[in-house]
Amino acid sequence: MKDSCEHVAEHENLVAEVKADMPAEGAIQLMADRFKAISEPSRLKILLALSHGELCVEHIAMAVGGNQSAVSHQLKTLKDNRIIKSRREGKNILYSVDDEHIMTMIQVAKEHLHCDE
């Protein structure tokens, strides 16, 4: 098959660069899973709440306007994806952000909401 692109040499160099920089399939899947985890609106709200500091499930539910059962379910997904962590303090389990890089992406997305104004 003949290449009809007028930029063959330049693009072949870029393709080689892309291939050298491309993460392994497992890493790509992990990235996709984390994006999927933060893309659900209630989980995103939980992360925005936790960006202010450590909270228990009761107070997370109050902050995001959800019920404790639903919030607990979403916390499990975030924890399974290593985006948040928890620790026990007496009878309470306190949740906090475990991946500050994810929070940086969320903050940039939040700031981007107003860039067209």
Partners of 89 in the β-ladder: 92
In this structure, the number of other CB atoms found within 10 A of the CB of residue 102 comes to 20
Give yes or no for a contact between 79 and 85, defined as CB atoms under 8 angstroms apart: yes
Q: Give the largest Cα separation in the chain, rounded.
A: 70
pLDDT in tens, 9-35: 899 999 999 999 999 999 999 999 999
pLDDT in tens, 39-64: 999 999 999 999 999 999 999 999 99
Interatomic CA distance for residues 9 and 99, integer angstroms? 40
Question: pTM for the complete prediction?
Answer: 0.83
pLDDT in tens, 72-110: 999 999 999 999 999 999 999 999 999 999 999 999 999
Q: Which of 104, 87, 91, 89 has its CA nearest to residue 34?
A: 104
